[in-house]
Amino acid sequence: METPLVEVRNLKQYFRLKRGQIVKAVDGISFTIEAGKTFGLVGESGCGKTTCGRSILKIYEPSGGEILFRGENIRGFGRRRQAIYRKEAQMIFQDPYSSLDHRMTIDDIVAEGLHVHFPKMTRKERRARIEELLEVVGLTPEYGSRFPHELSGGQRQRIGIARALAVEPEFIVCDEPISALDVSIQAQIVNLLEKLQRERDLTYLFISHDLSMVKHISDTIGVMYLGSLVEVSSNKSLYKRPLHPYSQALISAIPIPDPAANKEAKRIKIEGEIPSPINTPPGCKFSSRCRYRMDVCETMQPPLTEIEEGHFVACYLYHDKEGEVYADPVVG
């Protein structure tokens, strides 16, 4: 089999607070992203999605686990290899306003990566490259002399995309790139990302809490809850037959365009509040809110297990007392 472009193995990202408390923002998750594909990472706000993306890019130094890029562990990269990885892997940030330096013109923002990674590029070549990138993301070269505050939210996010593309990356972490935009603009940005992926063979980690948009852009989807992955599956399989009770509730909440059908749709309500990520108790982190919880759920963390081909879930509903795995849940 071909080596995945990105492979995450048991990634942990812990943050130590005062009085010895520890926030387990990312708590032992594993997944792979094939070259040219999109892995969608979904979950409620605060579940650790963004922290996961930043850890993969080494914006945060991981507390544990391995992150492999083309089969190489990035934690073992030397200074020179690390610089190359910074070029190969880029990020599109959630807030297109705060992620751009408002003292710099658009030209300077897009050119920043070119100065770092292509120091031998002449001023003329750099000028041509900037104009090309602006056109690629749907803007004219005249925007180069403007400042971020003079642009709309959608235009600023296009600049963020151009900045990421400037250094010719292979892998891009898209950290909720549409959540801060008007609904009318969101589809334009997603369509642009898909177009760029086809033309440039890009690989995405697409982070979002919008399940309908993740369904549109992703090949494989991971559902995250309180720092852990509870389900990983292909796009079609997850939406057709979600296995984990948390995934079922999230998907049931997706609005249906037909008002009549939307009114008749059965919604699964999640009771209770999300537990604190500080010193989390043993067992399944969703157990306190799960309508199917059993005694074992409160004492042992369920492993992420392949129930069907390519469909993994961390839930004891799919295990009998002897630990055998079943495709249909053992309820009651």
User: Which pLDDT tens digit goes with each residue over 255-296?
Assistant: 776 666 556 667 788 887 888 888 777 899 999 899 899 999
User: Which pLDDT tens digit goes with each residue over 150-188?
Assistant: 999 999 999 999 999 999 999 999 999 988 788 888 989
Residues 11 and 47 both lie in one domain: yes
Q: 222 or 212, which is more confident? A: 222
Burial class (CB within 10 angstroms; exposed 0-12, middle 13-18, buried 19+) of 16:
exposed
Count CB neighbours of 6 within 10 A: 23
User: Which pLDDT tens digit goes with each residue over 284-331?
Assistant: 999 989 989 999 999 999 999 999 899 999 999 998 666 676 666 655
Residues 114 and 158 both lie in one domain: yes
Range of the domain at 52: 6-249
Residues 227 and 281 both lie in one domain: no
Domain with 119 in it: what CATH number? 3.40.50.300
Residues 133 and 265 both lie in one domain: no
pTM as predicted: 0.92
Q: In sequence order, what are the beta bridge partners of 186?
A: none
Residues 31 and 93 both lie in one domain: yes
Domain boundary among 208, 225, 249: 249
Residues 281 and 218 both lie in one domain: no
* Phi, psi angle pair for 267, to nearest 5°: -100, 135
Whole-number pLDDT of residue 323: 61
How high does pLDDT run on average in the chain?
Answer: 90
Residues 119 and 221 both lie in one domain: yes
Whole-number pLDDT of residue 258: 64
Domain boundary among 206, 224, 249: 249
Which alpha helices (H) appear in the chain, and where do they start and end?
49-56, 79-88, 106-117, 123-136, 153-165, 183-200, 211-217, 235-240, 245-252, 259-264
Specify the number of domains making up the chain.
Answer: 2
Sheet holding 171-175, edge to edge: 89-92, 171-175, 203-208, 38-42, 220-225, 228-234, 311-313, 305-308
Comparing CA positions, the residue from 205, 200, 188 lying closest to residue 132 is 200
Buried b (16+ CB within 10 A) or exposed e, 92-101: bbbbbeebbe
CA–CA–CA angle 213, 215, 221 (5° rounding): 115
Is the confidence at residue 73, as pLDDT, over 70? yes
User: Which pLDDT tens digit goes with each residue over 79-114?
Assistant: 899 999 999 999 999 888 888 999 999 999 999 999
Q: Which two tokens stand for residue 127?
A: 């000028």
Q: Strand 22-33 and strand 89-92: pairing?
A: unpaired
